[in-house]
Every structure is written in structure tokens, then in C-alpha cells.
Amino acid sequence: MSAESPERTSTGSPAQLRPLYAAGFVTAFGAHSIAASLGAYTHGEHASLLTLGLLLAVYDGAEVILKPVFGSLADRIGPRPVLLGGLLAFALASAGFVLAGNPAAVGLARLGQGAAAAAFSPAAGALVARLSPAKRHGRAFGGYGAWKSIGYTLGPLLGGILITFGGFSLLFGTLAVLALAVTGWAMLVVPAAPPLPRARQTVLDLARRLSHPSFLRPTATLAGTTAALAVGVGFLPVTGAAAGLGALAAGAAVSLLALCSAVVQPWAGRARDAGRLRDGTGMGGGLALAAAGMAVAAFLPGVAGVLTAAVAIGVGVGLATPLGFAHLAAITPPERLGQTMGAAEVGRELGDAGGPLLVGAIATATTLGAGFLGLAALLVVAGLAAAGARASQRADD
């Protein structure tokens, strides 16, 4: 056990945080670069839509199951070894696909990548919190979220280019090299963050902490922003196609959404740290903006509607996301950061899967516009709840 201060491990210089931002980029780029190309892969392999669904789900499924496990492990042994182990495992899973030389191994590779991301993603979040003073948590998580947004933006584009020139082997090989490079960078730059002394926690204590409003509000915010992002990326192109937009223009609208999110997140974090933006106000306002974007997509036809919706959703996601993470860091005992980040990441994954499922189900029964409005209503409810968040309230109080 370490006798370090419970408030932070080090000064958290930008140089120490950059490898953590790169780790966030790896998981976002890896997940979306492959997912965006799996449709072409299954078509070429004459696989069924069920196979496509399984290949898309296996990555997120591994994360949902394993993130709380690895988050708790990060608290027990320290987040740095979990981060390094997860990145190395991601590199090995990616390289394994290349070495196997068998396209049918893509499912196993995706499973391995998802399990690895379940390790290094909550560990990176815990390290961002521990290596940054509390007064800079907003800025730190704003940078982390911005680089994940860049990964979401570049993943489908660069993934398509790599597959065009070298097939899935080139894409997986690139991911292996990228993850290995970030592993080495983190080993050299990220300082040790030994486990902090922890009071004994029973299952009842854990359930009480994770069901406390101070945890549920920011987690619901993160789930809502991820749902809005997933729906925007998945369904705005459908609206654009109905309005006569080509594939390139529809893709540009999705990139605009992700770009707005990437630009706004660092600003929102700095405003939070400077005291100009309260957590509850920012989270609630961000979800309200995302809901407004959904309503615009439902009611405003044509190019103007698609682009306006993309901007509103992107800005809303960018506003609320870093404040959700910073709020979780503020209300969590430092020795439980890994467990909290792992549990909150499950909320994000559920939003990522649940948002498109909800919109798709409503659209199938009625119209796509009604699906957008259904998600907008849920975002408004989550936003009203998030507006009551108080940074001083801890789940263990």
C-alpha cells in the first residue's frame, strides 16, 4: 500500500496525460474503424446479417461484462499495470488476426480487442483523475474525451483507406503497431500510481454506492451522450439519404457531429475548472442540446435539418461528457476510482447499444422521426435529473 496523498498521485503535467489521451483514441479508433467496415466484410464473405450483428456486438459485449472487473482490479493493484496490460493485450489481439491469416478469425480478434479495451479504458479514466489536481479535472477529461471523439471521427475514414489498400490485415496490423506504440509511450511517461489504502467494502456497500443519485446522475448523463452520438452517427445518414444527400455528404454530416464534440469538450472542461460552468448545469444543458438536435432531425427536412441536428448533437455531447466524468471523479473516493470508472463505462456502453435499438424499434413501428423524438424525451428526463447534481455530494456520504 502507498502512503501517498489521497487527493492525487502527481502534478499531472500535460506530458503525463497525453499517453492516456492516446489510449482513449486507440479504443475509439479501433472500435469504429473495424465496425464501419464489417458490413463490406460480411458481404464479401457471404455471411448473414445475424453474423454481422454478432461481430458488431462482441466488442461491446466484452466491455460491458469486463469493465467493472478490470476497474476493481485497477483499484486493487494500481491503474498503471492494468492500463499497460490492456494496451499490450489489444496489440496482441490485433496482431493475432494478422498472423492467423484467416478472415474468419475476425470475431475472435474483436472479442480479444474488446476484452483488452475493457481493461485499459477504465484504468485510463482513473489515471486521468489521479494524475490531475481536482481543480483541473474538467480540462483533463475534456482533453481525454476530445481525443476519443477524434478516434470516432477518423476511424471509419482511415479504416476504409487501410482496408482498400491492404484489406483487414493492414487495418489490424496498424492497430497492433498503434497500441504497441502507446504502450511504450505510457511505460516511459505515465508515473506509478500505487493502490491507495481502502476500507473494507461489502457487496451491499457497493450496491448502495452505485445506486446513489450522485453516481446515477453523471452515469445517466454519459449513457445519454453516448446514445445521442450513436444515433446521430447511425441514423442521420438515413435522414440525409431520404433528403437526397449522397454518401459523401452524409458522411460529412457525421464528421461534423464528431468534430463539434471534439472541439467543445476541452472548452467545457476549462469553463468548469474556472467556475464558469457548474456540473449540473453543464450536464443538463448538454443533454437538452442533444435532445434539441434529435427534434430538429425529426421536424426539419433536408440538408439544413441534417446539418443543424449534427451541430446540436455534437455540441451537446461535447458539453456534457467531460463534466460527467469530472463529476464522477469529484464524488468518488480516490481509492475507488477504477471501480467507479468501470461501472460508469458500462453505462456508456449500454447507451451506445440502447440508443440505436430504441430509435430503430420506434422507427420500425412508426417513423424515424418518432424514433428521434422518443430518444429526445429520454434525454430531457436525464437532463432534468442531471441538473440537480451537486459536486460536493459523495456516494459514500
Nearest CA to 235 out of 301, 279, 294, 276 is that of 294
Per-residue pLDDT 10s for the chain (397 aa) are 333 333 444 455 788 899 999 999 998 898 878 876 666 665 566 556 566 667 767 887 888 889 889 998 998 999 999 999 999 999 999 999 999 877 778 889 989 999 999 999 999 999 998 998 888 899 999 999 889 888 877 887 788 888 888 888 999 999 999 999 999 999 999 998 887 666 565 556 556 666 778 888 999 999 999 999 888 877 888 887 777 776 667 667 777 888 899 899 999 999 999 999 999 999 999 999 999 999 999 998 788 898 999 999 999 999 999 999 999 988 888 888 888 888 888 888 888 888 888 998 899 899 989 999 999 999 999 999 998 766 544 444 4
Cα(367)–Cα(75) distance, rounded to whole angstroms?
Answer: 46
Could you give the count of Cα atoms lying within 13 Å of 392 in the half-sphere of its Cβ?
A: 0
Cα(356)–Cα(371) distance, rounded to whole angstroms?
Answer: 9
Q: Count Cβ neighbours within 10 Å for each residue of 321-344 and write b for 16 or more, e otherwise.
A: bbbbbbbbbbbbbbbbbbbbbbbb
Cα(259)–Cα(263) distance, rounded to whole angstroms?
Answer: 6
Of all helices (H) and strands (E), which one includes residue 319? helix 302-331
**Type of residue at 232:** G
* pTM of the shown model: 0.80
The three-class DSSP label of residue 382 is: helix
Cα(357)–Cα(168) distance, rounded to whole angstroms?
Answer: 27
Cα(50)–Cα(309) distance, rounded to whole angstroms?
Answer: 31
Nearest CA to 156 out of 30, 261, 328 is that of 30
